[in-house]
């Protein structure tokens, strides 16, 4: 069934109901008025007939000419057609026509009713006078034999019909005015109902199109309580949706900024194993354009068996997966700490994987450097410590009594302590050299080589 606007559902119904009510009222008023006037005429003509009945009874037993003249004169003065009919239906006298030329009236319904002793009424056109007449017939005694006859009076109903037609025209005019007024009021009411709904529809379409910058505000002035409450609820809903959309846009922008500024490569993959997006670090690592891989299959983007297997496990188990992966960026090997985190919807169903890759190459290289450094520095630290320990033990074993040797041994201990201090200074200097941000200048000056060589000979002599 075809949808119709609310206005065309309300307006024709209201106008139709008003039109039907107006027609029914007009019909009822017309029929009631017609019945009222007709009943009033019937009573009036019956009273006339009853007033004439005694005179007609007396004159019908006398001279027929006098009787016929009385009927003619009385009918003209009373503007009423008077007809006297015997029980056989023969017209004895008539105020408007020659009785000899008139048909038998025994079959007339009002005459037949009067012959049975009642009062008969009928309304029909008269061929004699050429207009509609109201007939009323009462029983009456006629002729010397007291035979029952009928006295029938008739008056024209044309004036009544003309008055009723004029009344009908007035009813029609009033009805048209009422219908026009009802149509105007129905139009205004239908528009007052449908216009807020139209505004609500436009506001909903704005929200559906995402045009939340200038939302349509629905006014509640002049509306019904229910429509005003609905408009207020929709306005609140629109404001809340607008607030949430703005919050979502803000959060999305924050996430976009965070995603783009991450130093670690990040790749988002959906449940169909298609790339949702990747940040600039990931694009640089895999040598890809940052904006040209969305929607592509992950196999055609990453092309690394271990990473693809990690993604498959995360999608299958819907759980976090961690693994170290080594790959080559050009000719250089890169060690990555890889973490695949499932993306879940509100029902905790898997909707994809977020792949985060942390570059451990520099950290691994620094670890190797640290190990080499410890291996190289340990003997340098151990040599002077061993020398100091050896000479101190010699002194404790009795060399303190030999003044010359004791003084020489103490000189050696002092030099070895100085060497330890020099090693520590060298380590600090090395730290400053590796620290690119250091601002302290390293002092360089010429120094004699002999003391260094003598110190080395003494150290080796102690070990020997």
User: Where are the domains positioned within the chain?
Assistant: 7-163, 212-256, 263-359, 365-437+445-463
CA distance 5 to 266: 53
Top-tier CATH class for 263-359 = alpha beta
Per-residue pLDDT for 140 more than 70?
yes
Across the chain, mean pLDDT equals 78
- Mean pLDDT of all residues in 241-251: 83
Segment of 162-171, 379-388, 432-441 carrying the highest mean pLDDT: 162-171
- Mean pLDDT of all residues in 161-179: 82
Is 7-163's fold the same as 365-437+445-463's? no
CA distance 58 to 141: 9
Residue 266: the pLDDT is 84
**Residue 163 confidence class, pLDDT cut points 50, 70, 90:** confident
Residue 262 class from Cβ within 10 Å (0-12 exposed, 13-18 middle, 19+ buried)? middle
CA distance 15 to 182: 6
- What dotted CATH number matches 365-437+445-463? 1.10.287.130
**Residue 434 confidence class, pLDDT cut points 50, 70, 90:** low
Does this model's pTM top 0.75? My answer is no
CA distance 4 to 281: 57
Residue 216: the pLDDT is 54
- The DSSP bridge pattern shows strands 147-156 and 132-142 to be antiparallel
Are 218 and 196 a contacting pair, CB within 8 Å?
yes
Top-tier CATH class for 7-163 = alpha beta
- Mean pLDDT of all residues in 152-161: 82
CA distance 340 to 321: 5
Closest by CA to 204, choosing from 174, 171, 241, is 241
The encoded tokens of residue 337 equal 């700490």
Are 298 and 305 a contacting pair, CB within 8 Å?
no
């Amino acid at each position: 069934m075809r949808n119709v606007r609310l206005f065309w559902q309300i307006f024709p119904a209201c106008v139709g109901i008003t039109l039907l009510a107006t027609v029914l009222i007009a019909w009822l008023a017309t029929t009631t008025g017609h019945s009222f006037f007709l009943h009033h005429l019937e009573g009036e003509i019956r009273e006339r007939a009853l007033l004439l009945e005694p005179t007609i009874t007396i004159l019908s037993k006398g001279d027929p000419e006098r009787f016929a003249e009385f009927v003619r004169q009385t009918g003209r003065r009373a503007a009423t057609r008077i007809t006297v009919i015997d029980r056989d239906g023969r017209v004895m006298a008539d105020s408007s026509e020659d009785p000899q030329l008139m048909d038998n009236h025994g079959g007339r319904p009002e005459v037949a009713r009067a012959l049975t002793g009642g009062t008969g009424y009928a309304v029909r056109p008269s061929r004699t006078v050429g207009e509609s007449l109201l007939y009323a017939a009462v029983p009456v005694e006629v002729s010397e034999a007291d035979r029952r006859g009928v006295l029938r009076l008739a008056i024209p109903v044309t004036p009544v019909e003309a008055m009723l037609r004029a009344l009908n025209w007035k009813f029609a005019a009033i009805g048209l005015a009422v219908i026009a007024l009802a149509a105007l009021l129905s139009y205004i009411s239908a528009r007052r109902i449908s216009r807020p709904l139209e505004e609500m529809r436009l506001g909903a379409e704005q929200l559906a199109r995402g045009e939340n910058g200038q939302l349509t505000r629905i006014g509640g002035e002049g509306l019904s309580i229910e429509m005003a409450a609905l408009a207020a609820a929709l306005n609140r809903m629109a404001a809340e949706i607008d607030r949430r959309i703005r919050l979502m846009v803000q959060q999305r922008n924050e996430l976009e900024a965070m995603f783009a500024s991450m130093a670690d490569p990040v790749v988002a993959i959906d449940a169909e194993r298609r790339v949702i997006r990747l940040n600039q670090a990931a694009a640089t690592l895999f040598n890809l354009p940052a904006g040209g891989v969305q929607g592509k299959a992950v196999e055609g983007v990453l092309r690394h068996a271990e990473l693809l297997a990690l993604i498959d496990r995360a999608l299958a188990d819907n759980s976090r997966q961690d693994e170290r992966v080594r790959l080559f960026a050009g000719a250089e090997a890169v060690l990555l700490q890889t973490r695949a985190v499932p993306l879940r919807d509100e029902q905790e169903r898997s909707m994809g994987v977020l792949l985060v890759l942390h570059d451990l190459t520099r950290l691994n290289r620094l670890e190797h450097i640290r190990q080499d450094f410890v291996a190289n520095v340990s003997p340098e630290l151990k040599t002077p410590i061993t020398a100091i320990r050896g000479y101190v033990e010699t002194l404790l074993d009795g060399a303190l009594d030999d003044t010359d040797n004791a003084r020489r041994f103490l000189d050696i201990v002092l030099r070895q302590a100085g060497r330890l201090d020099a090693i520590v200074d060298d380590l600090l200097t090395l730290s400053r050299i590796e620290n690119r941000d250091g601002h302290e200048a390293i002092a360089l000056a010429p120094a004699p080589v002999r003391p260094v060589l003598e110190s080395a000979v003494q150290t080796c002599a102690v070990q020997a």
